[in-house]
Copies of this chain bind each other. A is one copy, B any other.
Amino acid sequence: MAKILIITGPEFEDVELLYPYYRLLEEGYSVEVAAPWKKRISGKHGYSVEPDKVLAEVKPEEYIALVIPGGRGPERIRYYARDDAVRIVKHFIENDKPIAAICHGPQLLISANAVKGRRLTSYPGIADDIRAAGGEWIDKPVVVDGNLVTARIPSDIPYWMREFIKLLKGG
């Protein structure tokens, strides 16, 4: 069964993690969550998940696609496991595998130097960071640019996942 990786950290935006997690299971994929450490992490709204993997031990070549939820998770990952996250994101970028990022998720695309010349969206509060890193920030519920599928906020989720699943199934 094809495996998809979700990377996150404490204080993730709960529904931005739970929706793709359940949605990709619903679609028949195997889904694994990786975080800076193995013990249970909680979202901003109090939902919690037990990570399947520590970021340091992730072999990105095992996965067909990557999902990066928002909330404070991405910044926390920068603090606790930046180099592991950069290594993982670069694998998906360099191999042109699908990446879905929402809200503050694109912060890890910036860390991996992966937004230059790309069209994408994010939580509006980090639009300037996207631009400073050389990306073109677009204010739409979902932006698809090649393997990158990005969205802004939880209410964009239906449009974000619709495009991501289309991409997973070959466009």
Q: Which positions in A face B, CB cutoff 8 Å?
A: 14-15, 18-19, 22-23, 25-26, 45-47, 154, 157-159, 161-162
Contact = CB atoms under 8 A, between A and B. Distances in A.
Contact of A158 (B15, B22, B154): B22
A158 B47 contact: no
A131 to B, nearest CB: 28
A52 to B, nearest CB: 14
9 contacts: A15-B15, A15-B47, A18-B154, A22-B157, A22-B161, A25-B158, A26-B157, A26-B162, A45-B45
Contacts of A26: 157-159, 161-162
A93 B45 CA distance: 35
Identical chains bound together, number: 2
Contact of A14 (B15, B22, B162): B15
Contacts of A159: 26
A164 B48 CA distance: 26
Nearest to A25: B158
A15 B157 CA distance: 13
Contact of A15 (B18, B25, B162): B18
Which are the 6 A-B pairs with shortest beta-carbon distances?
A26-B158, A25-B158, A45-B45, A22-B158, A22-B157, A26-B162
